[in-house]
Structure 1
Amino acid sequence: MLRVKSLTLRVLLFATLWYAIALVTIAVVISALYRQGAERSFNDLLRAQLYNVVNSVSVGDNESLTGSPALGDLRFSQPGTGWYWLVEPLGSFNAAPLASTSLGLTNLPVPSFEEAPFDQNYERFYGMTDTFGNKLRIAETEVILDESGRAARFRVSGNLKVVEEEILGFSRRLYAVLALFGFGGLFVNAITIVFGLKPLDRARRALERIRGGEAERIEGDFPREIEPLANEINALIDSNRRIVERARMQVGNLAHSLKTPIAVLLNEARVLESPHDEVVKAQAAAMQAQVGSYLNRARIAAQRESVLSRCELEPVMERLVRVMRRLNPDKNFELAVEAGPLALGMESQDLEETLGNLLENAARHAETTVTVRARPLPAGEAGLDPGRKNWVEILVEDDGPGLDPDQIGEALKRGRRLDESKPGTGLGLSIVKEITSEYQGKLGLSRGESGGLMARLVLPGIGRDGVA
């Protein structure tokens, strides 16, 4: 079954369906009522003409039917029109019948009383088709003409085509008016629904501002039905903010409590005799780096559970590149940012640590040049969360020896150093990978155009409209 996810489209769909059913029902009912009224009026017309004929015909001196009904309708004098009158003697009254000019030499058959019985006024109405193919409605009665009991059957017919044309014309006008009313009603209903759901759109934009780091709470004047939802979301944001503060406090306490023991271990390692001093110093340094890494992960996880942070990419990149140029005066650092300014949905210190590790690693292995490029990346190219519209790609490339495909997997493992001749702990790339994954991004390593190593970062971005 097809599910419509849009609330506006769903309401419009049901409103359109209801309008269609209601208007069709109204059209059928009104048409049926109008048909009944038209047929009743037609019967009344035939009845009036019937009694006009009755009043105009009598028994003459020679015991014949005499009279010339003046019905005021030329159709009774034109052949084949379906408008006839006919007076036929009954019983022993053997006079010649009288008929309208329009009937000519034809006759109208008489149905049995079982097929069309008389009513309480001794009248009956029935239909038939004449020799010209006209559908007729006939009004009939029987009247005693004189004191001798001589009687005659009086019949007047009318062509039902008149009624059908009148009903058809009325139905066309009715359908046109109802269709116009229906489209107008749907248009007004659509406008009402769109404007009625505007507060939900404002609430959505308020949430986007929170997600984009531009606001901390949902603010605005909302209707009574939406205000409780906004209040609950604000309460949830406050609760998450308290969780983040507690997490940060606990992270700080843990860092403070571990800093002193690790420092003592490092100091003690300096007075130990070889080869134990190198082992203890190396392990203590590794422990210090790992503690820092996991503390960062705890802080990022706590941050991700609450609201999304925001930082501008280009200033951070420029600052890091300036530092790297001072530290590596013999290396050339090239920086390019496409379609700037770009904003990321992450903490600035996490971005600095991520890019700093990549730049430091690239500078360590580069021959002469390190290239840093950044550009916005469509969601389809990112290959990550389809619910997020904005992503940013950062490329850090050096012109060093690079890595073979089988070496790339080893380089991302914690503590693995593929080149022991260079300084380092082997934790840089693994830290970058961990921070990137915490922000639901990805890190990829490959050989660049210059033959060196190219690190590709895909990080969550925030659009210029504040949409993540």
Structure 2
Amino acid sequence: MVIRSVTARVLLLATLWSAVALVVIAVVISALYAKSAERAFTDLLRAQLYNVINSITIGDDNSLQGNPQLGDLRFSQPETGWYWIVEPLGTFAATPLSSSSLGVSNIAVPSILNVPFNNRYERFYPTYDAFGNHVLVAETEVVLDSDGRAARFRVSGNLSVVDSDIQGFTRNLYIALVVFGVLSLIVNGLAILFGLRPLADARRALERVRQGEVERLEGEFPREVQSLTVEMNALIDSNRRIVERARMQVGNLAHSLKTPIAVLLNEARLLDKPQAEVVRSQSEAMQAQVQSYLNRARIAAQRESLLARTEAEPVLERLIRVMRRLNPEKTFHLDIVTAGLLLAMEQQDVEETVGNLLENAARHSETEVRVTVAPAAAPDGTDGVRRNWVEIVVEDDGPGLNPDEIKEALKRGRRLDESKPGTGLGLSIVGEVTREYQGRFELTRGATGGLKAILTLPGTAKDAA
């Protein structure tokens, strides 16, 4: 799954890296501490071993004598795993000495082949005592007098002390690292959000441009984002120039075609009636088609500028007033579900699309035409750039059309009722303008049986307070 959010990507990578780093740190520190604790324990046993050696002598009766004072009560408490033992070697037949904690038991001595002495003539080996304690034994052999009499000295310590110390340290270390990791993630998250905030500011500035509140990206941005805002402002300026140039060219072309078409219509009055009707109808159709293609060129030029917007309510009210004056015998209803709806379209395009639908509805209705305006969901297949959409429904109480007739009516220049005036271009023009704005135009049968036209047009948000 691809994560499309930059913030989510950075947070995820920071979290994964922090987790891996903390685990590695925990393992390394635990291992280092374990080695240090074991080394300290070995050094303690070595020190206790030499304390015992310094405390033992051979008496006048050729016996081992001495009472080592090791400063640790565990050497006097039974079954603790802390013992010292002195055993004569060779022909020296004295009685062995041991700490009171050992009692009458003993600790097995491994062979030198299995556990050899080191260069200091010491050896350390783990084993178990008679009470099941896991102990570490420090051992050496020392010559006690000039006659060569020697003894084996051993001191043992309970390894559970080292294990519990390591476990306690590891537990505290993990708790500390977890707390540190959580706090680090919070701090990293805040730092990342703060660092990426200029991108959010740039997005909001661009959104204000899209909604028509301002004409350029405004605000103070860091150096990394400033170049992007400069390029975006340059693009907006370029689009604005394209729009103005297209409007000027459309005006020039419309003006240049206006006079020839008017001449043709005027000359048609001088011709015989059959020829005059043909010339007049074809000139009107040519005029409508030229205007339609000019509108498409103009819309294509300004559609991506994202600056056009028209308030729906006053435009529709004005169209309804005109239709009431032209059709006094019919009733026109306007229902605005949500006040203040804005269309991301040029006003003349709104008037042309809705005006064509109103003319068509007035022409074929029996008594009334109803217009409903409300927010709508985005049509299928839109690019998702605009967040708001507006639905305009024009419904009449006329005879309506069946599905085959609807398909035929949407074709350019097709008129299903030749008895009514018109060029047959109105519905096709509505569809073309709507598609240019990436909207949707649909014809269906209404609740009263008449024709129901549904326009889904791009909208924009109301001005921010």
Band of TM-score, shorter chain: over 0.9
1:223-268 superposed Cα distances (whole Å, 9 cap, x missing partner): 0100000001111111222222222222222222222222222222
Partner residue, 1:459? 457
Amino acid at match of 2:61: N
Deviations for 1:156-204, whole angstroms, at most 9, x for unmatched residues? 0000100111111111111111111111111011111111111100100
- Runs of 5+ consecutive residues of structure 2 not aligned to the other structure: none
Equivalent of 1:391, from 382, 389, 400?
Answer: 389
Give 2:433's aligned amino acid.
Answer: I
The residue aligned with 1:438 is 436
Q: CA deviation at 1:53?
A: 1.0
Aligned to 2:410: 412
Following TM superposition, the consecutive aligned residue runs of length 4 or more in structure 1 with deviations greater than 6 angstroms are none
Checking the alignment, whether the CA contact within 8 Å between 2:242 and 2:302 is kept in structure 1 is no
CA distance in 1, matches of 2:463, 2:81: 77
Partner amino acid, structure 1, of 2:397: D
Q: 1:195 aligns to what?
A: 194
What is the aligned residue count? 463
State the shift of 1:463 in Å: 2.9
**Contact 1:87 1:97 survives alignment (8 Å):** yes
Is the aligned partner of 1:228 residue 2:227? yes
1: CA distance, partners of 2:333 / 2:304: 36
Which residue in the other structure is 1:240 paired with? Answer: 239
User: Residue in 2 aligned with 1:101?
Assistant: 100
Asked if 2 retains the 8 angstrom alpha-carbon contact of 1:82 and 1:157, the reply is yes
Aligned letter for 1:403?
Answer: L
TM-score, structure 1 normalization: 0.96
Q: CA deviation at 1:291?
A: 0.3
Aligned-pair CA distance for 1:118: 2.3
Pairwise CA RMSD of aligned residues?
Answer: 1.5
CA gap of 1:279–1:386, structure 2 versus 1, over 3 A, is closer
* Contact 2:215-2:307 at 8 Å conserved across structures: no
Question: Partner of 1:358 in structure 2?
Answer: 357
> SS state of the match for residue 84, structure 2?
strand
1:263-294 deviations in Å (ceiling 9; x for gaps):
22222222122321211111111111100010
Map Cα deviations across residues 76-112 of structure 1 (whole Å, 9 max, x no partner): 2222211111111112212221111222232222223
Residue deviations 1:410-457, cap 9 Å, x none?
111111111122211111111111100100111111111111111011
Structure-2 separation of matches of 1:281 and 1:337: 39
Query: What's the CA shift string for 1:1-26, capped at 9, x where partnerless?
Result: x2111111111111111111111111
Aligned-residue offset at 1:72: 2.4
- Structure 1 CA distance, aligned partners of 2:61 and 2:25? 60
Tell me which moved more, 209-218 or 100-109.
100-109
390-399 or 261-270: which moved more?
261-270
Deviations 1:50-79 (A, max 9, x none): 111111111122212122212222222222
Alpha-carbon distance in 2 for matches of 1:206, 1:139: 76
CA distance in 2, matches of 1:319, 1:68: 117
Asked if 2 retains the 8 angstrom alpha-carbon contact of 1:384 and 1:441, the reply is: no
Question: 1:303 aligns to what?
Answer: 302
Corresponding letter in the other structure for 1:441: G
Normalised TM-score (structure 2): 0.96
The offset of 1:308, in angstroms, is 4.0
Partner of 1:254: 253
* AA in 2 matched with 1:431: I
* SS, match of residue 136 in structure 2: strand
Q: Equivalent residue of 2:223, what SS? A: coil
Aligned to 1:55: 54
Per-residue CA distance 1:190-220 (angstroms, 9 max, x = gap): 1111111111001001111111122211111
Deviation readout 1:336-390 (Å, 9 max, x if unpaired): 11122211111111001111111111111111111100111133xx334262432
Q: Determine the structure 2 residue equivalent to 1:403.
A: 401
2:82 alignment counterpart: 83
What's the offset of the Cα at 1:465? 6.9
Deviations 1:138-162 (A, max 9, x none): 1111111111110111000000100
* Matched AA of 2:440: K
- Check whether the contact 1:124–1:140 (CA below 8 A) recurs between aligned residues: yes
Work out the CA distance in 1 between the residues paired with 2:388 and 2:304. Answer: 20
Contact 2:45 2:156 in 1 (8 A): yes
Letter in 2 for 1:427: L
Who is 1:214 aligned against?
213
State percent identity of aligned pairs: 68
Work out the CA distance in 1 between the residues paired with 2:235 and 2:112: 85
Alignment of 1:110-259 (within 5 A): 110-259=109-258
* Consecutive unaligned residues in structure 1, runs of 5 or more: none
1:133 CA drift (Å):
2.2
**Paired residue type of 1:433:** G
- Determine if contact 2:106/2:130 at 8 Å carries over to the other structure: no
Moved more, 455-464 or 350-359: 455-464
Helix, strand or coil at the partner of 2:305: coil
Distance 1:203 1:341 in 2: 27
Q: 1:115, 1:310 → 2: CA distance?
A: 93
Q: What's the counterpart of residue 32 of structure 1?
A: 31
Q: Which amino acid aligns with 2:382?
A: D
> Partners of 1:410 and 1:313 in 2: how far apart?
30
- Within 1, Cα distance between the matches of 2:439 and 2:14? 43
Shift of 1:116: 2.7
